[in-house]
Amino acid sequence: MLDVRKIRLTLELRNWGITDPDVLSVIEKIPREIFISKNFRHQAYENIALPIDREQTISQPYIVALMTQSLDLNKKHKVLEIGTGSGYQTSALSFLSRRVYTIERIKSLLVGAENIFKKLKLTNIVTKHGDGNLGWPEQNPFDRIIFTAATEDITEKFFDCLKDKGVIVAPIIRGSKQILKKFIKINNKIEIEKLSDVLFVPNLTGMKD
């Protein structure tokens, strides 16, 4: 049975410029309510960010769709995600890529996300409890990298572990603003595209239980 709320959300995303049919299909397919606490599940298919545990948020569906669409994913791609959070963005990536390596600094969030991945039978996700700022050197190189928390800048190590024609999508802090940017590596040169003003939690260092 079709969920009217999902149809309404998909139409809204189309109107906001999400044109990739595979991305729209994934947003429609993923049960967003299971990533959200019971208190907010009635808002699961509204196009808004919502709070999750440990003072973190699950991103607005439009931003998840925009970031996913901007990565230009295909089933051959190996993806690195910095910040698993609820696992909602991770799940979207898993449907459209070969394998997703995702790092989360807060252990309890990672455990929650891992339980959801099992429930959804997503078997191409590899998780790690760690500081995402250190990357995942053992798994280099990557075709795509996504940051799900706002960072001051992308350090050289992430461009070094990115394949040629690879893409990084990340919210970058500029003064009092955050700007979602797309970085494309071509012949060891970086092309940059501004995508949207955004508001993410900050990308912090270290690890927590």
Would you please indicate which residues are annotated as catalytic (active-site) residues?
59
Amino acid at the residue 206:
G
**Residues with Cβ < 8 Å from 165, sequence gap 6 or more?**
184, 185, 186
Q: Report CA-CA distances (Å) from 5 to 27, 48, 193.
A: 12, 13, 32
Distance of CA 157 to the CA centre of its chain: 20
| DSSP code, position 167 | E
Q: What DSSP assignment string belongs to 8-41? A: HHHHHHHHTT---HHHHHHHHHS-GGGGS-GGGG
